[in-house]
Structure 1
C-alpha cells in the first residue's frame, strides 16, 4: 500500500474511532419487571356476603395474580351471582361467562370477548344477555356495558348500546339505539 492510499484510510479510521468515543450512549427505558405472585389452574372460589350467605362464586381455567398492580387475570371466567330477597325469601341466580377477565381490587370484574349473561332461575323478564365487554361490581351486584348489548326474554328480543343493570333491584337502563322485537306467541 502506498502513501496515497494509506493516508485516507488512516483519516477514515481516526474519524470512526472519534465518532465511537464521542457518540452519545443510547439509554433504553427499563421496562417494569412484573412477575405474577401466583398462577393457578382450574380455580373455584366462593365469596360470602356480610350475613354469611354465598354472594358469588368464581370459576376460571387459569388465574394469574399480580399483587403490586392489584389485579387478577382470568382465562374463561364464569361468575355465578346469588341474589336473595330477605323479605320474600325469593332467590335468583345469574351466571356470567366470557373468554377473559380482569379483577380489580377484589370488587370490579371486567369481562371481555363473548360475554354471556344467563338467568339460571328463569324468573326475570331478561333471560339471556350478550355483549363483548361487561363490568360487574361484585359488592353492589351491578353490571354495565358501553358496548352493543342483546338481551332476550319470554316473547321478546332487544338490543341497545350502553346499559346498566342492578341484579338486586331488577332495574335495567339502556342508553342508546334501542331496538325491540316482541313476539305475540302463546306458550
Structure 2
C-alpha cells in the first residue's frame, strides 16, 4: 500500500506542477479584453453632409461635420465640428449654428459645445451673431437655449449676458441676465 500512496502522491505533484506552469504562462501573455459595445460606434462618417426634410417635403435643416460617430446602444450621435443650417417655418431666413463638438440625442435635441456660434444668413438682420460655450438646439421646434455666458453681436451693438432662449421661427430672443451693452454709432 505504501507503493500505491507514493504513486498517487507523485501523480498529484506532477499534475499540480503542470497546472502551475500552464497558469504561469497564461498570466504572462496579454489577455484580449472583451470590447464594450456601448463604446464602439455602429458607423462612422467622415466629411458628413446630410439634408433632412420635413413631412411636407420642405428642407428642415442641413448638417455638415468633419466626423460623425453613431452609438446605437447609447442612442447618441457624436459630431466633430458640426454646422447646422436651420430652415425656420414660413420661409424665414436661414440661420447657421456651429461648434467644435456636438451630440445628437434620439429626441432630436443637439448639445453643442466649445466655440458655439449662431450666425444670421440674412445681411439685413438686426441680430448678426450669438457666441457662447454651450447651446442646446431642438431640431423639431428650432429653439436654441443656453444657461451659460453669451455674447450677442448686432448692427451697431454688442450685448454680454447669461442665459438665452432664441425661437428662430418667430425671431424672438429672450436674454435671462443682462451684463452689459455697448452701442456704436453706425454711419451710413
Per the normalisation by structure 2, the TM-score is 0.77
Structure-1 residue corresponding to 2:147: 146
Structure-2 residue corresponding to 1:130: 131
> Is the counterpart of residue 79 in structure 1 residue 72 in structure 2?
no
In 2, Cα distance between the equivalents of 1:144 and 1:84? 18
* 8 Å contact kept, 1:84–1:92: no
In 2, Cα distance between the equivalents of 1:91 and 1:169? 9
More displaced stretch, 41-50 vs 71-80: 41-50
**Could you tell me how far 1:147 is from its partner in structure 2?**
0.8
Structure-2 residue corresponding to 1:91: 92
Residue of 20, 42, 50 corresponding to 1:37: 42
Structure-2 residue corresponding to 1:161: 162
> Is the counterpart of residue 52 in structure 1 residue 53 in structure 2?
no
- Give secondary structure in 2 for the equivalent of 1:168: coil
1:101-154: CA deviation from partner (whole Å, max 9, x where unpaired)? 000015101110111111011242210111000100011000011111101111
- Give secondary structure in 2 for the equivalent of 1:44: strand
Structure 2, unaligned runs of 5 or more: 1-33
Matched length: 154
Per the normalisation by structure 1, the TM-score is 0.77
In 2, Cα distance between the equivalents of 1:110 and 1:47? 18
Q: CA RMSD in A?
A: 1.7
**Could you tell me how far 1:33 is from its partner in structure 2?**
4.0
Structure 1, unaligned runs of 5 or more: 1-29
